[in-house]
Chain A
Amino acid sequence: MAWVTQTLSSSLGRKVIMSLTGLFLSSFLIVHVAGNLQLFKSDDGRAFNEYTYFMTHNPLIITISYLLYTSILVHALMSVVLTRHNQASRPVKYAYGRPEANSTWSSRNMGILGTVLFLFIVIHMRTFWYEMHFGSVPMAEYDGKQYKDLYAVVQEAFAQWWYVLLYVVSMVALGYHLVHGFQSGFQSLGIRHKKYTPIIEFLGTFVFAILIPALFAAMPIYVFLQVHGII
């Protein structure tokens, strides 16, 4: 199996790992944002809680969720490996540089954006995922069946303005991360074609970098405004 390890530890192989994990995480975002749209239903969280129940009990989803956690860790760890390697490739830095003349800010700062997102994911999972699995979540009953009332936890969290702000800022970071990351993922796999690359660029920019983060950011804002009776 020498060829496998050698391939995956080459600079190209490492980028393939980044690409596959990154694109998998991107695809998860679609599921996640679609599911969480339940938050916008005015039913005191019933739809949301039922959706949460499904997500935590369906065996297929549970399997995929482990793949997801692994992807997050591999994506993050590999980025550390790559960043260290890349920095070592230029031991003496330039005294003066004008990188803005030849590349976009986001493309050069994927590491910083990724770090923000990683911290966000830790906080996010502590607040919701940890509470859901190991914390004490109040129960709700619909049609005689008991559900964990994650909706209550959401309301509690997003009632705090700074928590909402944290989410909004993180979603901006997500947008910048994906505006480069999504299309870069295809490039690393060698998928580039006159006909299809514009479609990938469109999806990366308008769907993954703008629409999805905007929907995500709208959720805490919506809940905040609702909890405080503003809407």
Chain B
Amino acid sequence: MKITLKVWRQKNSNTPGKLVEYQLDNISPDMSFLEMFDVLNGELTKKGEEIIAFDHDCREGICGSCSMYINGRAHGPQTGSTTCQLHMRSFNDGDTIIVEPWRARAFPVIKDLMVDRTAFDRVAQAGGYISVNTGSAPDANEIPVPREIADTAMDAAQCIACGACVAACKNASAMLYVAAKVSHFAVLPQGQAERTMRAERMVAQMDAEGFGACSFTGACSVECPKSISLDHIARLNREYLGAKLTSNNLQG
């Protein structure tokens, strides 16, 4: 296959970037999208040009590192998958492919296709946990969790924090990510003790990071590699409103 790539190149966060065109011949349809980038980077190195920086690690769709906006879509044209799970057979010989980094105020570009997603970690630190010190847990079967509840929690918990929801949202909103986190704990019996505080704090942190609001377009869920449902966003709204109306916190 012959492919024309237009890739966003940006030296660092202080320098403006631009789309740069590359020609690739001899691309195998069995290659993964990131393997195509490996090949390109090899060629660039031989030519003495700087390689294209991009985040990647597990290459099996679970670590959440890879983050490319391909031909106008987060993680490319295939739904329910990450960039690393995308293969060149999804494209046609002679195609031009535009590759950009995630775009969001809360995800500043570090270099080329690499962005800073630590905003997600700060949201998690704001309350995305159950406070239980090591060694203080009761026997696991003392906390029965109905199967349906466990499944719902797992549906939410499988979020890989890749940021595709933010990238795909017209408002760069992180609602699906935050909703998945809040939802995971909100449905489980173990999560009840900190339930109101968690919703209040995580939403406050989400807003402080500069993410947009939810317009309920559903783009996040469609582009989510784990197809996390919009049900969780509704639950987050419910959790937040409930928390605000019932908590004893007068300061906000």
A residues with CB within 8 A of B: 2-3, 5-7, 10-16, 82, 85-86, 88-99, 101-104, 107-108, 110, 180, 183-184, 187-192
Pull 26 A–B residue pairs with CB atoms less than 8 Å apart, ordered by A.
A2-B252, A6-B252, A10-B204, A10-B240, A12-B214, A14-B213, A15-B237, A86-B171, A86-B172, A86-B212, A88-B105, A88-B210, A89-B212, A90-B172, A94-B72, A96-B98, A98-B73, A102-B217, A103-B222, A180-B216, A184-B215, A187-B230, A187-B233, A190-B237, A190-B240, A192-B231
- Chain B neighbourhood of A6, CB < 8 A: 251-252
A102 contacts B71, C-beta separation under 8 Å: no
Q: B19 touching A12 by the CB < 8 A rule?
A: no
Question: Could you say which of B215, B242, B249 contacts A108, with CB atoms under 8 Å apart?
Answer: B215
| Inter-subunit contact B72/A16 (CB<8 Å) | no
Known: A5-B252, A15-B237, A192-B234. 10 other contacts (CB 8 A): A3-B249, A3-B250, A10-B203, A12-B236, A86-B173, A90-B103, A103-B218, A187-B234, A190-B235, A190-B240
In whole angstroms, what is the CA distance A103 to B98 when docked? 20
The distance from the CB of A214 to the nearest CB of chain B, in whole angstroms, is: 24
Among B19, B73, B172, B213, the residue within 8 A (CB) of A15 is B213
A101 touches B214 (CB 8 A): no
Q: Does B106 contact A (CB under 8 A)?
A: yes
- B76-132 residues at the A interface, CB under 8 angstroms: 77, 98, 100, 103-106, 109
Report, nearest first, the 4 A-B pairs whose CB atoms are least far apart: A190-B238, A6-B252, A98-B72, A192-B234
Is B103 within 8 A of A86, CB to CB?
A: no
**When A96-B71, A187-B230 are in contact, do A7 and B252 touch as well, CB less than 8 Å?**
yes
Do the beta carbons of A91 and B72 come within 8 Å of each other? Answer: no
Residue on A nearest B232 in the bound complex, by CB:
A192
Residues of B within 8 A of A92 (CB): 103, 109
Complex contact A102–B250 (CB within 8 A): no
Q: In the complex where A10-B204, A96-B100, A98-B73 touch, is A89 in contact with B171 (Cβ < 8 A)?
A: yes
CB–CB B218/A102 < 8 A = yes
- Chain B min CB distance to A185 (Å): 9
Flag whether B168 is at the interface (Cβ < 8 A).
Answer: yes
Q: For A95, list chain B residues within 8 Å (CB).
A: 8, 19, 98, 100
Contact of B237 among A12, A96, A99, A108 (CB under 8 A): A12
What CA separation (Å) do A92 and B167 show in the bound complex?
Answer: 12
A199 to chain B, nearest CB (A): 15
Contact A85:B218 (CB < 8 A) given known A95-B100, A102-B168, A108-B170: no
Nearest Cβ on chain A to B211's Cβ, whole angstroms: 6
Chain B interface residues toward A at CB < 8 A = 8, 19, 69, 71-73, 77, 98, 100, 103-106, 109, 168, 170-173, 203-204, 206-207, 210-219, 222-223, 230-231, 233-242, 244, 249-252
Contact between A96 and B72, CB atoms less than 8 A apart: yes
Alpha-carbon separation in the docked complex, A94 to B113 (Å) = 13
- Residue in A13, A89, A192 whose CB lies within 8 Å of B210: A89
Cα A188 to Cα B105 in complex, Å, equals 23
In the complex, A190 Cα to B238 Cα: how many Å?
Answer: 4
Contact A187 B237 (CB under 8 A): yes
A107 near B216 with CB under 8 A, answer yes
B213 contacts A82, C-beta separation under 8 Å: yes
**CB pair A190 B217 closer than 8 Å:** no
What chain A residues lie within 8 Å of B100 (beta carbons)? 94-96
Bound-state CA distance A63–B203 (Å) is 36
Task: Among B212, B216, B240, find the residue whose CB has the most chain A CB atoms closer than 10 A.
Answer: B216
B222 pairs with A11, CB closer than 8 A: no
Partner of B215, one of A5, A7, A86: A86
**Do the beta carbons of B212 and A107 come within 8 Å of each other?**
no
- Pick the contact of B103 from A12, A93, A108 — CB < 8 Å? A93
Query: Which B-chain residue is minimally distant from A101 (CB atoms)?
Result: B73
Complex Cα spacing A7 to B242, Å: 11
- Complex: A85 Cα to B249 Cα, angstroms: 26
Instruction: Decide: A86 and B170 in contact? CB cutoff 8 A.
Output: yes
CA distance A32 to B191 in the complex (A): 46
A96 to chain B, nearest CB (A): 5
**B240: nearest chain-A partner, CB-CB:** A12
Please tell me which one of the listed residues A16, A103, A192 contacts residue B219 in the complex, with CB atoms under 8 A apart. A103
